[in-house]
Amino acid sequence: MHDAHFLLTDLLFGFSALLAIGLYIGAVLLTNGRGRLRKWPLHRSFSFVAGVLLAVMAVVGPFARLSHDDFTTHMAGHLLLGMLAPLLIALAAPMTLLLRTLNVRLARKLSRLLQSSFVGFFTHPIVASILNIGGLWLLYTTGLYSAMHTNIWLHIVIHIHVFLAGYLFTISLIYIDPVFHRFSFTYRTVVFIVALAGHGILSKFIYAYPPAGVPVEQARTGAMLMYYGGDAVDLLLIFILFKHWYQSVRPRKLVLGVGKTV
Amino acid sequence: MTTIHNTQVQSNNRGTFARRNLWSGILFGLGFVAFLDETLFHQLLHWHKFYDKSTVAVGLISDGLFHAFSWFATVGGLFLVADLRRRDALWHKMWWGGKLLGAGAFQLYDGIIQHKVMRIHQIRYNVDILPYDLVWNISAAVMIMAGIGLIASAKRDKREGKGAFSNA
């Protein structure tokens, strides 16, 4: 890839990011103006903007150019684009915002789409995990990683995939937006553990067997960043998942009333 | 009057959630040991290695699964504690029994299976490893025995209406 390519990706990703932020803020302002609706929580808007900015930071400008030559920077970008940004965006509940922005007819259509088996397939925890973690295994253990550096279209497709797969993975495990195909906490926890293990094992695999064209030292620091950085983001996800469990098993009655004898 | 009433209810709650107390302890103990292992031996002392070349493939998988599981165990175990507390059902003896059992079991697995059989890494490098292995595994066995002892004692308390159940 050379300068003209970077200009293309800068424009493509930069424009999409600005568009996403514009649409989100626009929808927030529009629906906040409708008296019958509650005000959209400010933290969700912050979360969305932060998520999009972190994602776009990984694929645009100096950071993207540096990750092209330096594996450790590339890995920092992966953590932002594929893990932290999707989490922040999921926490911003974009689908809920969209549903409250659309008129009833369109919102019903969207809700039917969300109930479809197509959406159900891609938001299935196992499918989303395979797309996410499996995609990473393909990228780092085959020639795909070096091919990505010479082919601009591959570069674009892979980066979009990393983000989308990360987003699907996040929303398949923690339910912020309305979810029509739901899985139990136990089911999601088990899938999550295996997926997280797949991420950790891949990190150590990269440490031991650097991808083609990556110097050993860079592969090692990059792999350790992937391992521990992944842990940090996953800790947030696990915390949210269990917090939802904690809220869902809240005792209905006052604790003192539970006793057998009075 | 109210005090007696409250302790009675608390005893009942403990009895109802005995298994949850035990499992919360086991999970937290396991996660806690894994966390100490990572912080103390990997990060602060730099005794353990991130990867050493003698690791067998199944060792990487085992290490990955346990590492992932330990995060869930730590966070999940603590949320269970919060749940028991809000139900006024936290039973310290049972919980600590579980914690020691979980901690010891993981340490023994790490020390025997992961370090020795799968060779994911050694406790320390360029030293005579035997004393390290002995301290590691014997302390694990002691924790397991202490844990089982506490759990048995907690069950006896419940059966005979002693300790945490003396007001029941």
Contacts of B5 in chain A (CB under 8 A): 256, 259, 262
Establish if A255 belongs to a structural domain.
no
Q: Does A194 touch chain B (CB under 8 A)?
A: yes
Contacts of B57 in chain A (CB under 8 A): none
Q: Which tens digit of pLDDT belongs to each residue from B71-106? A: 899 999 999 999 999 998 899 999 999 999 999 999
Among A216, A225, A221, residue whose Cα is nearest residue A80: A225
Q: Does B159 touch chain A (CB under 8 A)?
A: no
Establish if A18 belongs to a structural domain.
yes
8-state DSSP, B36: H
| Tokens, residue B153 | 């004692």
Establish if A19 belongs to a structural domain.
yes
pLDDT at position A169 is 97
Give the separation between CA A12 and CA A8, rounded to whole angstroms: 6
Taking phi over 0 as left and psi of -120 to 50 as alpha, with beta for the rest, B46 belongs to left
Establish if A15 belongs to a structural domain.
yes
Q: Does A243 touch chain B (CB under 8 A)?
A: yes
- Determine, for residues A197 and B68 on separate chains, whether the beta-carbon distance falls below 8 Å: yes
Q: Does B19 touch chain A (CB under 8 A)?
A: no
Residue ranges making up the domain that contains A219:
3-246
- Determine, for residues B64 and A262 on separate chains, whether the beta-carbon distance falls below 8 Å: no
Number of structural domains found in chain A: 1
pLDDT at position A262 is 36
Q: What is the mean pLDDT of residues A79-84?
A: 96
Residue pairs between chains A and B whose CB atoms are closer than 8 Å: 87
B132 confidence band (pLDDT: 50, 70, 90): confident
Q: What is the mean pLDDT of residues B149-166?
A: 87
Q: What is the mean pLDDT of residues A167-189?
A: 95
Q: What percent of chain A has pLDDT over 70?
A: 95
Q: Which tens digit of pLDDT belongs to each residue from B20-67? A: 999 999 999 999 998 888 777 777 777 777 777 766 778 788 888 888
Contacts of B58 in chain A (CB under 8 A): none
B3 confidence band (pLDDT: 50, 70, 90): low
Q: Which tens digit of pLDDT belongs to each residue from A213-260? A: 899 999 999 999 999 999 999 999 999 999 999 999 998 765 554 544
pLDDT at position B168 is 52
pLDDT at position A194 over 70: yes
Residue ranges making up the domain that contains B134:
2-165
Number of structural domains found in chain B: 1
Q: What percent of chain B has pLDDT over 90?
A: 35
Mutation target to probe the B interface, by most B beta carbons within 10 A, among A196, A216, A248 is A196
Establish if A108 belongs to a structural domain.
yes
B4 confidence band (pLDDT: 50, 70, 90): low
Q: Does B139 touch chain A (CB under 8 A)?
A: no
